[in-house]
Structure formats: C-alpha cells, structure tokens
C-alpha cells in the first residue's frame, strides 16, 4: 500500500538492502542479543520456582535488559540509516535517556492496555498513534509526554498504513521462525531497518546540535 509518505514494498526493499550491506554487523548483533537475553531467562527458570519472588524479580530484570538492548538496537539502526554505518560512540548518549525511555515504554503499555480493556478498537488505534515513543526518545531526546505528543502528530492519518506495515513484518518474521528459527537472523534485521525507514519517512531526522 502506497501513500504520500511511504510504501510497504519500499520499506521492505530498504530493509533487505541494509541487511545485505551490513551482514556481519547484523548477524553478530542478533546473536549477542539472543545470548544476553535468553541465557539469563533460562537461568531464572532453572534456579527459581515459578511465581516466587526471586523468579518474578529475575524475569523483570530480563525484561529490563531487553528494553536496554532495544535502546541500543534503535540507536545503531538509526545511525545505519542516517550515516551508512553504526556509530558506537553515540551509545554513551543513551545513558541520560534511560529513565525517559523506560517511562515512555511504561506509559505506552498502560495506554494500550487501557484501550484494550475499554474496547479492542481504541487499544489498536492508540497502539499505532503512540508507536514511535521509543524512537523519538532515542532520536530526539524527548521526555515521555513530549514523545507521546510527537508520535501522535507524526502518525496522524497513517494508522491504517502502519497497521498493514506491522502485519507485513509480523508475517515475515513468522516465516523466519518457520525456517528453523535461522531465518530470524535475516528477517529481524530486515524488519528492523524497514521500521527505521518508515519512521524516517514520517519524521525528518533530528537537527544536529549546535557546536
């Protein structure tokens, strides 16, 4: 589906091209992320009884680790789109944004949950309305409330397009899972960069800070 901002086909083509250009980086990053998140999760399940306090705490810490890795993935993928390569030096810029990022993700989850409790449709609409809270925090350093407002503005008129795009990347990752999970080494980077492409189409790059 095409509109005046982006097309799903172009986004996926861009994701595929980006993956082919940075194969070693993406394969290494996906493997590292898998090891860092899966190993602690399995250790938590082995060491602690389900529904006990240590088990719950361990699971929460794993989820927190996943969110922090999500910050890293977002920053590096934006760099690849904007500069043609990951800029590892900018990872230090993420430290002061951690609380903003976590706060934005929590607010986003609560908003979507409330929408789903009230009625399914509002939950789905709000999910796409505030989809880019995390991206905007990493990209522009926005506070949770400011990121919600900016995401609402940039997704206005494109919620159906974003729904169809999310459906396309979900199906692509399902195919990756079917291929003995090995396919995810390809589909995750492709869909990640396709998502960055769509974000950049809906929101122009942040202006560089004055020297």
Across residues 57-69, what is the average pLDDT? 90
pLDDT tens sequence across 103-132: 999 999 999 998 888 777 778 888 999 999
How far apart, in whole angstroms, are the C-alpha atoms of residue 1 and residue 113? 28
Confidence label for 206 from pLDDT (cuts 50, 70 and 90): low
Query: Tokens at residue 35, please?
Result: 């090891």
The single-letter DSSP state of residue 157 is T
Statement: the pTM of the whole predicted model exceeds 0.85:
yes
CA distances from 83 to 76, 91, 127, 159 (A): 10, 15, 29, 28
pLDDT in the model for residue 204:
60
pLDDT at 55 over 50: yes
pLDDT in the model for residue 207:
53
CA distances from 52 to 49, 60, 66, 80, 195 (A): 6, 12, 21, 42, 37
pLDDT tens sequence across 135-156: 999 999 999 999 999 999 999 9
Please, which residues have CB within 8 angstroms of residue 28's CB and are 6 or more apart in sequence? none
Q: What are the boundaries of each domain within the chain?
A: 8-202
Alpha carbon 5 to chain centroid, angstroms: 20
């Amino acid at each position: 589906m095409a509109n005046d901002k982006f097309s799903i086909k172009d986004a996926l083509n861009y994701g595929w091209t980006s993956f082919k250009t940075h194969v070693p980086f993406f394969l290494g990053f996906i493997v590292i992320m898998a090891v860092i998140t899966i190993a602690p999760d399995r250790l938590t399940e082995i060491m602690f009884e389900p529904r006990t306090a240590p088990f719950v705490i361990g699971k929460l810490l794993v989820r927190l680790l996943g969110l922090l890795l999500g910050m890293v993935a977002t920053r590096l993928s934006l760099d690849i789109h904007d500069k043609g390569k990951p800029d590892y030096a900018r990872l230090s810029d993420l430290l002061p944004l951690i609380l903003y990022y976590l706060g934005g993700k929590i607010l986003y989850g609560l908003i979507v949950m409330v929408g789903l409790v009230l009625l399914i449709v509002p939950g789905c609409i709000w999910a796409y309305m505030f989809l880019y809270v995390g991206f905007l925090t990493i990209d522009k350093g926005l506070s949770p409330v400011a990121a919600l407002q900016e995401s609402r503005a940039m997704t206005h008129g494109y919620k159906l397009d974003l729904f169809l795009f999310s459906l396309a990347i979900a199906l692509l990752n399902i195919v990756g899972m079917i291929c003995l999970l090995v396919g995810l080494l390809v589909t995750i980077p492709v869909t990640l960069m396709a998502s960055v492409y769509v974000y950049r189409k809906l929101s122009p790059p942040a202006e560089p800070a004055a020297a």
